[in-house]
Structure 1
Amino acid sequence: MSDETPICSAKGCRVPAVWVLAWNNPKLHTPERRKTWLACGEHREHLSQFLGVRGFLKDVVPLQEWERRAGEDGRTGG
């Protein structure tokens, strides 16, 4: 795994990410703004639930698809 390999956002996890969880906090962000967390297969559900119960989760997309979309429209995560 190189330093460029995206890793899971779960605390203590160092596994390569395969999912992007797009979210926003409506109290802080405009409706179109998307922050991102990355998830491995094992932590996808846990992180999705964490964001979902708060009403923050907007989309869960495979990392390769997110990167393809970003390349097409110039979007960056974060």
Structure 2
Amino acid sequence: MIPAENPESPLCSAKACRAPAVWVLAWNNPKLHTPERRKTWLACDEHREHLSSFLNMRGFLKDVVLLTDWESAGGESAGGGSAADG
């Protein structure tokens, strides 16, 4: 795992990963959230596929976007929590 260079940088949501986030995984649990609601997990390059697969298998994954694109588009706060938080 790559340590974060800037402690203020968003970090990957994968359990125990301290790498800087590169991706935003926007998701929604239709049993709990309204259709337009988007929760977010952050992912480094190494964990993007694993976290995406986890959400997609449950039918929760809505979009995978580069963090820089998400921020420039005015996406919701990409803090997202950790993948362990579900």
Which structure has the highest helix share of the two? 1
CA distances 1:31-63 after superposition (whole Å, capped 9, x unpaired): 000000000000000000000000000000000
In 2, Cα distance between equivalents of 1:2 and 1:30: 35
Matching residue of 2:73? 69
Tell me the SS of whatever aligns to 1:50.
helix
Unaligned runs of 5+ in 2: 81-86
Matching residue of 1:30? 34
Matching residue of 2:56? 52
User: What's the CA shift for 1:76?
Assistant: 2.0
**Percent of paired sites with the same residue:** 73
TM-score by length of 2: 0.82
In 1, Cα distance between equivalents of 2:8 and 2:71: 14
In 1, Cα distance between equivalents of 2:6 and 2:23: 18
Structure 1 segments of 4+ aligned residues over 3 angstroms from their partners:
none
In 1, Cα distance between equivalents of 2:57 and 2:21: 22
**Letter in structure 2 aligned against 1:14:** R
Unaligned runs of 5+ in 1: none
CA distances 1:1-47 after superposition (whole Å, capped 9, x unpaired): 23320000000000000000000000000000000000000000000
Count of residues in correspondence between the two structures? 74
